[in-house]
Amino acid sequence: MKNSTIERELLYGADNYEPLPVVLVRGEGVYVWDEEGKRYLDMMSAYSAVSHEHCHPRLVKALQEQAAKLAVVSRAFFTDKLGAFLKRACELTGFEKALPMNSGAEAVETALKAARKWAYTVKGVESDKAEIIACHGNFHGRTIAIVGLSTIPQYKAGFGPFPAGLKVVPYGDAEALEKAITPNTAAFLIEPIKGEGGIIVPPAGYLKACAEICKKHNVLMICDEIQTGLGRTGKLLAFQHEGIKPDAVVLGKALGGGLLPVSLFLTRKEIMDVFTPGDHGSTFGGNPLAAVVGDMALQVLVEDKLIERAATMGEYFQKQLRSIRSPLIKEVRGRGLLIGLEVVDGYHAHDICLKLLEHGILTKETHRTVIRFAPPLIITEEQIDTVIKALTQVFTEVKAEV
């Protein structure tokens, strides 16, 4: 596709993504437009960072007003906005303390550092022996420590060596977790639903069993809700589907209201208190601009009843996807509006995403065979019907080409 905008981005940018051949210029609600003025239904929501909607008016207004008043002052000083944001986040999630960062990976790194220091200063693990356990097929970010936990070869190739004390266990197997725990285990880091791993919902009772095992062995259970949190799966936090309360949770993506990076590490006081002044921080973490946007993002989530919408619209979306009669469909799975449609072997989800693009539907595959459907939580039944119609047509076209 000859396009000077694309060529300029490729000429000056790194080749670390392979974007679909579309140049987006505007977003509003569940829609985005390309530079030719063509409108698309967004089924990606920037990997669930745009759960509210594109350029939500209340969020944009909050951003504009604060940006014109006070934006970044560093944590060398207090501000009038950070405490209000942290209070709302703690009260909404039921954790005592919150540490603000920017990207999801930064908040995950914060969690890992807290877990290790807690292991040494509270649990009594020997210095530099703390171990972290994660799951096969995990995705927690792109830093070297987090990638050290990855089992995706490409995410690790060429970036070693990795920190010590990092282990992985099969996802969905609580027994394997218990077997992997040693007296040096600090924490178990888990996505309540695997996002990048192909939108995998674990077996019922798995998270509960893990929580019990962690408690039994004095291991911190940390839920990475960067993608599954903030209403995406039909509950405020995905772990709530299992009626558990982990020791800590990490939030990001939609916490920034689809406008800027805001992330949080939340836990109880005993764990957060391992940090003393100067231990950890970030230039932009907790800046008043991000605090105002994060605070408004939480307010809008509750006031616009987006969590309830994700539950009801997610149910409708899955029902409609399951009503499509096509030999290409292997499985429809997910929770709320975090849905994956797996195509049978021999078909590439990427090819289907390219055809969906022609039909005005924007999404990308996760893993070769899974098409992600994770729209902004304000999506309507009528818009879902439009997606189903387009998908049915695409499956017919693809089948015909075989």
How many residues are there in the chain?
Answer: 402
Can you give 356-391 as a three-state secondary structure string?
HHHCCEECCEECCCEEEECCCCCCCHHHHHHHHHHH
Structure tokens of 94?
């039921």
* Cβ at position 52, least distance to ligand IF1 in Å: 16
Q: Which residue has the tokens 């063509």?
A: 38
**Nearest in space to 82 (alpha carbons), one of 353, 286, 231:** 286
Picking from 271, 7, 4, the residue whose alpha carbon sits closest to that of residue 113 is 271
The residues that are catalytic are 139, 224, 253
DSSP 254: G
**Three-point CA angle 176, 193, 184, nearest 5°:** 40
Nearer to ligand IF1, 4 or 16 (CB): 16
In the complex with ligand IF1, the residue whose CB is nearer, 103 or 185, is 103
CA distances from residue 41 to 209, 367, 400 in whole angstroms, order as listed: 39, 21, 25
CB of 137 to ligand IF1, least distance (A): 10
Find tokens 């669930």 and name the residue: 48
Question: Given the complex with ligand IF1, which of 226 and 300 has the nearer CB atom?
Answer: 226
Cβ pair 137, 200 in contact under 8 A: yes
**What is the contact surface with ligand IF1 in residues (CB under 6 A)?**
47, 103-105, 108, 139-142, 191, 195-196, 224, 226-227, 252, 366
Shortest separation between residue 400's beta carbon and ligand IF1, angstroms:
31
Closest CB to ligand IF1 among 79 and 228?
228
The minimum distance between CB 154 and ligand IF1, in angstroms, equals 11
DSSP 43: S
Closer CB to ligand IF1, 53 or 196, in the complex = 196
- Nearest distance in Å: CB 349, ligand IF1: 13
> Of the candidates 371, 374, 365, which has an alpha carbon nearest to the alpha carbon of residue 45?
374
